[in-house]
């Protein structure tokens, strides 16, 4: 299995040591006269932003119409995403990156991966609650609706000003090298290092978090399942090792039920 190694794009972050008397621009904050606003990606998870995105992008309503789902914002899911899964996935992605060999780490677009890790499931705020919270197995029709969340997330964020790499990570975070994930991709689609990191982080977080339809797995159980992706050629062994080092040796953020 190959990995597309390209020169890394810029890496950004918020400087916690802010000099309030400085006139220099601070990463993560825009100053406008006597006001300022956060440029953190969590601004795209507010109810105000989401309603505007839904009302101004006809593709969102078209996707929902295609799957016969209502145009309804799930505020509870939005809150749970922001407080739990978005953060744990971002933490796991950061942990994987930190534990990668230096030769691979230098090719990771850290900002794009971390931003996408926080935003990857934002499309679920448009998935009907009865499907998201179903305790039993989903029907084929329900799976089709659930699988649209990654495309919906892409459409929600498409006009946000986020770069194309971050947007595509959100859209394809359930795709893999075997092309057995979703949404459908052309034959030449390549799951690069950034996408593999996000996918592994998302899967690890989902497996170790509680859901209405399952209890949380422990680290060893989750890693055993994810290792199957290595055996299938869908996950680079070094990415898996970095995840394992994070899960077993670092201090992960634990989500309580």
pLDDT tens per residue across span 155-176: 999 999 999 999 999 999 999 9
pLDDT value, residue 26? 35
24 — pLDDT class (breaks 50, 70, 90): very low
- For residue 253, what pLDDT is reported? 43
Query: Cβ atoms within 10 A of the Cβ of 171, count?
Result: 23
Note the pLDDT of residue 39: 62
In a domain, 35, yes or no: no
161's CB contacts (< 8 A; 6+ apart) are none
- The β-bridge relationship of strands 29-32 and 35-38 is antiparallel
Residue 59, pLDDT > 90, answer: yes
pLDDT at position 192 over 70: yes
Residue 6: per-residue pLDDT: 39
What's the pLDDT score for residue 10? Answer: 29
Domain that holds residue 220: 45-249
18 has which bridge partners? Answer: none
Number of domains in the chain: 1
Residue 235, CA distances (Å) to 22, 134, 191, 203, 223 in order: 45, 29, 9, 12, 12
In-domain check, residue 112: yes
Rounded mean pLDDT, 31-49: 69
Res. 49: pLDDT tops 50:
yes
In a domain, 170, yes or no: yes
Q: How far is CA 119 from CA 135, 180, 228, 250, 253, in A?
A: 25, 22, 26, 23, 18
- Domain contains 50: yes
| pTM value surpassing 0.85 | no
**Would the pLDDT of 29 be above 60?**
no
The answer as to whether 136 is a domain residue is: yes
**Which of 4-13, 35-44, 113-122, 177-186 is predicted least confidently?**
4-13
Between residues 14 and 25, the one the model is more confident about: 25
In a domain, 176, yes or no: yes
pLDDT at 13: 30
More confident residue, 182 or 135: 182
Q: Tell whether the model's pLDDT for residue 109 goes beyond 90.
A: yes
pLDDT higher for 24 or 95? Answer: 95
81 part of a folded domain: yes
Give me the pLDDT at residue 251, please.
52
Neighbours of 14 (CB within 10 A): 12
Q: Is residue 11 part of a domain?
A: no
Q: What is the CATH number of the domain that holds 175?
A: 1.10.3210.10
């Amino acid at each position: 299995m190959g990995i597309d190694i390209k020169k890394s794009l810029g890496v950004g972050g918020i400087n916690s040591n802010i000099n309030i008397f400085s006139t220099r621009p601070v990463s993560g904050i825009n100053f406008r006269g006597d006001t300022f606003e956060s440029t953190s990606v969590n601004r795209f998870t507010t109810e105000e932003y989401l309603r505007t995105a839904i009302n101004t992008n006809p593709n969102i309503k078209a996707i929902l119409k295609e799957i016969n789902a209502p145009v309804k914002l799930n505020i509870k899911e939005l809150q749970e995403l922001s407080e739990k899964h978005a953060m744990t996935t971002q933490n796991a992605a950061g942990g994987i990156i930190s534990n990668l060999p230096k030769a691979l780490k230098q090719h990771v677009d850290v900002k794009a991966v971390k931003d996408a890790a926080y935003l990857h499931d934002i499309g679920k705020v448009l998935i009907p609650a009865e499907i998201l919270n179903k305790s039993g197995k989903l029907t084929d029709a329900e799976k089709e609706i659930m699988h649209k969340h990654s495309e919906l997330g892409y459409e929600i964020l498409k006009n946000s000003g986020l770069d194309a790499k971050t947007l595509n990570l959100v859209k394809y975070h359930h795709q893999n090298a075997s092309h057995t994930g979703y949404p459908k991709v052309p034959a030449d689609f390549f799951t690069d290092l950034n996408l593999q990191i996000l996918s592994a982080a998302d899967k690890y977080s989902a497996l170790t978090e509680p859901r209405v339809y399952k209890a949380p797995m422990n680290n060893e159980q989750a890693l055993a399942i994810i290792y199957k992706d290595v055996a299938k050629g869908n996950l680079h062994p070094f990415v898996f090792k970095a995840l394992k080092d994070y899960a077993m040796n670092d201090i992960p953020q634990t989500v309580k039920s």
